[in-house]
């Protein structure tokens, strides 16, 4: 048994029966006090969150039926500080409960401008949320007139900071008077600074290394309730921050993403190298966001049958209090052409808009990752609201983000050391197997020769142990499973 700071190799060599079994990485288990546990709680590599906005330049024309024209503005970069809080072992150490806290600090030197100053014209999300809520109500005309007096149209101009971290919206302020529990403020990242995304209970991997980091429950529930099928509501895989060791190329990696209110998956794409460490790149295939016609597993994501969207977009309104929010990859990468063609300024591109994870297959450590997602609003003609009368159904892009991480040099050095030891151990195992093979061969040859010599040898020996010496020492044969015939 070779013990390193986070790995245990306990190999059983039963050379002559050619049985070899190795339990690699027995210690990649979340155990209090272990080093893995510390870096799981406070991941050392710096995470950067970049936001890119789409500024519409022809808002007026668009309301009259023109194709929306947008320009991409960004990045606005924030350093993301993450740590796990209130970490407690549960179920006799086979599970661990934790809250992941996130904090964002703006980095001016990595951004194109000052978020407090830069104005972006985009869809007025609170206004669309209210219209969506009211579209079947009998007093929608009243609401419509009221919105007019407040100046709450389909588009709005706000600073980047307001759009992200929240601003008080006059319409929501009024609505909050009638709807208890409704927030007066709106922001894409509103209340996300210094908060957590609910309690997670993870498997520690103590019982099975394949379970390392697997999510058992989120907010006390082992499955979701947003969607309409068992398949869609399933919570599978890890939360994207840890993966089990010994990854295989044909493996499908599941990640539960509270932001999308669902589990997504990734498949192996290619082998890459990060800071000299070999990695497998996993990326989400098109089937993740495919329409229910293209992938019947996705049927449950189409909550109301009459407003199902196509491939590449996911309507997440069930978990956004009914607001017409649609998630996709940036620039509608991997989506149907109709979404790309509907907006001037979209140019999907794999290199820039793909989400990927580069994992070291031996250890399961994340070497580099980039999570890219876009927030869109579904714009449509809404009866009773004259401003929308010339609109066709459009998935309008508001913002996309790139949350990226690259392993820090110190951790990279550690992983390299581990891999070196792993190589040595597996080569040592091979060496033993090889040695066993050679010895077996010698044995067979000797047996064969002894067999041929048999008539001239002692008559009462039917099995001959290794060499002539064996015959003088009867004990010699036993360790290789051969016993001299002593009777007769
Ligand atoms: C967004 O577009 C408007 C005009 O439509 C312009 O005034 C504004 O400066 C643009 N915002 C940025 C950050 O470039
Ligand atoms: C809206 O749809 C109508 C009918 O399908 C079409 O004639 C028109 O060109 C569309 N407008 C835009 C801006 O796509
Ligand atoms: C952690 O526990 C403390 C004390 O019980 C509690 O006040 C705090 O809200 C908890 N943190 C989270 C994120 O739930
Ligand atoms: C924890 O272990 C003890 C003793 O091994 C056992 O009696 C108990 O049922 C276990 N509890 C859980 C939640 O597994
Ligand atoms: C987030 O909160 C921290 C303090 O906890 C603060 O320093 C930082 O500026 C905040 N970030 C934003 C974007 O408001
Ligand atoms: C941003 O837009 C608001 C509202 O239209 C305006 O009051 C403000 O002066 C604009 N800021 C800049 C820097 O253009
Ligand atoms: C994140 O993605 C954007 C969009 O493609 C790209 O411009 C940016 O360089 C990426 N950031 C990092 C840190 O890779």
Q: What is the DSSP string of 201-229?
A: EEE-SSS-GGGTTBEEEETTBSB-SSSSS
Q: Which protein residue's CA is at the shortest distance from atom 7 of ligand 2?
A: 392
Q: Is 61 helix (H, G, I), strand (E, B) or coil?
A: helix
Q: What residue ranges of the chain have pLDDT lower than 70?
A: 1-31, 33-35, 306, 425-426, 428-429, 454-488
Ligand 2 atom nearest 67 alpha carbon: 13
Q: Which residues line ligand 7 (CB under 6 A)?
A: 48, 50, 352-353, 370, 402, 404
Residue numbers of the domain that contains 454: 421-480
- What is the C-alpha separation between 39 and 31, in angstroms, rounded? 12
Task: Report the pLDDT value the prediction gives residue 35, as an integer from 0 to 100.
Answer: 67
pLDDT of residue 24: 43
> What is the spatial distance between Cα 2 and Cα 286, in angstroms, rounded to a whole number?
43
SS3 category, 438: helix
Shared domain check, 460 and 357: no
Q: How far is 301 from 308, CA to CA, in rounded Å?
A: 9
Nearest residue by C-alpha to atom 5 in ligand 5:
194
Task: For residue 342, give the ligand 2 atom closest to its CA.
Answer: 14
Residue with CA closest to ligand 7 atom 6: 352
* 327 assigned to some structural domain: yes
The pLDDT of residue 202 is 92
Cα(24)–Cα(12) distance, integer angstroms: 11
Looking at the fold, whether 393 and 430 belong to one and the same domain comes out as: no
How far does residue 55's CA lie from ligand 1's centre (Å)? 6
Ligand 4 atom, smallest distance to 92 CA: 1
- Ligand 6 mutation pick, 120, 157, 158, 160, max ligand atoms within 8 A of CB: 157
Ligand 3, from 85, 86, 220: best to mutate by most atoms within 8 Å of Cβ? 86
Residue 165 lies in a domain: yes
- Residues contacting ligand 5 via CB (< 6 Å): 103-106, 165, 193-194
Same domain as 371, residue 439: no
Token pair, residue 91, equals 């179920």
Asked whether residue 415 is assigned to any structural domain, the reply reads no
pLDDT at 18: 36
Question: What value does the CA radius of gyration of the chain take, rounded to a whole number of Å?
Answer: 31
Closest atom of ligand 6 to CA, residue 117:
13
One domain for residues 361 and 263 = yes
Taking CA atoms only, the protein residue closest to ligand 1 atom 13 is 118
Quick one: 366 and 475 in the same domain?
no
pLDDT at 464: 42
Helices 140-150 + 125-134 axis angle, to 10: 160
Same domain, 157 and 67: yes
CB environment 50-61: b (16+ within 10 A), e (fewer) = bbbbbbbeebee
If one counts the domains in the chain, the total is 2
Please state, as a whole number, how many other Cβ atoms lie within 10 Å of the Cβ of residue 488. 7
Alpha-carbon distance of 135 to 317, in angstroms, equals 15
| Residue at a domain's end among 346, 377, 407 | 407
Same domain, 251 and 308: yes
**146: which residues sit within 8 A by CB, 6+ positions away?**
174
The rounded Å distance from CA 352 to ligand 7 centre is 6
Which tokens belong to 117? 């100053």
- Both 301 and 242 in one domain: the answer is yes
Identify the pLDDT of residue 23: 42
């Amino acid at each position: 048994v070779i013990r390193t700071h986070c790995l245990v190799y306990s190999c059983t060599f039963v050379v002559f029966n050619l049985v070899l079994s190795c339990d690699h990485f027995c210690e990649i288990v979340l155990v209090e006090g272990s080093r893995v546990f510390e870096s799981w709680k406070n991941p050392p590599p710096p995470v950067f969150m970049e936001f890119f906005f789409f500024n519409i330049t022809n808002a007026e024309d668009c309301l009259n039926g023109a194709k929306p024209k947008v320009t991409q503005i960004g990045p606005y970069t924030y350093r993301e500080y993450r740590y796990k809080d209130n970490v407690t072992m549960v179920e006799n150490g086979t599970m661990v409960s934790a809250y992941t806290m996130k904090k964002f600090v703006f980095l001016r030197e990595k951004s194109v401008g000052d978020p407090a100053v830069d104005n972006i014209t985009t869809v007025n999300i609170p206004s669309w949320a209210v219209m969506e809520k009211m579209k079947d109500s009998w007093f929608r005309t009243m609401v419509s007139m009221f919105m007019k007096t407040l100046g709450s149209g389909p588009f709005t101009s706000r600073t980047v900071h307001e759009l992200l971290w929240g601003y008080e919206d006059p319409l929501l302020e009024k609505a909050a008077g009638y709807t208890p529990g409704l927030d007066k403020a709106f922001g894409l990242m509103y209340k996300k600074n210094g908060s957590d995304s609910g309690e997670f209970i993870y498997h520690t991997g103590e019982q099975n290394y394949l379970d390392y980091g697997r999510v058992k429950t989120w907010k006390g529930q082992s499955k979701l309730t947003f969607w309409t099928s068992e398949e869609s509501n399933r919570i599978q895989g890890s939360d994207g921050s840890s993966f089990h060791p010994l990854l295989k190329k044909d493996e499908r990696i599941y990640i539960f993403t509270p932001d999308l209110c669902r589990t997504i998956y990734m498949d192996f794409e290619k082998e890459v190298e990060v800071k000299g460490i070999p990695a497998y790149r996993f990326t989400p295939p098109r089937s993740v966001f495919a329409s229910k016609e293209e992938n019947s597993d996705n049927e449950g994501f189409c909550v109301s049958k009459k407003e199902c969207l196509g491939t590449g977009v996911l309507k997440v309104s069930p978990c956004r209090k009914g607001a017409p929010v649609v998630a996709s990859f940036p620039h509608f990468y991997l989506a149907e052409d109709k979404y790309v063609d509907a907006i001037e300024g979209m140019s999907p591109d794999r290199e820039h808009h793909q989400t990927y994870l580069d994992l070291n297959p031996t250890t399961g450590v994340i070497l580099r990752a980039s999570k890219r997602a876009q927030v869109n609003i579904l714009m449509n003609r809404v009866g009773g609201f004259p401003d929308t009368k010339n609109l066709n159904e459009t998935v309008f892009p508001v913002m996309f983000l790139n949350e990226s991480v690259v392993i820090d040099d110190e951790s990279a050095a550690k992983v390299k050391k581990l891999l070196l030891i792993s190589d040595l151990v597996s080569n040592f195992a091979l060496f033993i197997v090889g040695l066993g093979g050679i010895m077996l061969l010698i044995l067979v040859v000797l047996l064969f020769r002894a067999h041929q010599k048999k008539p001239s040898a002692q008559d009462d020996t039917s099995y001959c142990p290794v060499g002539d010496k064996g015959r003088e020492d009867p004990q010699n044969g036993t360790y290789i499973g051969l016993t001299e015939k002593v009777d007769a």
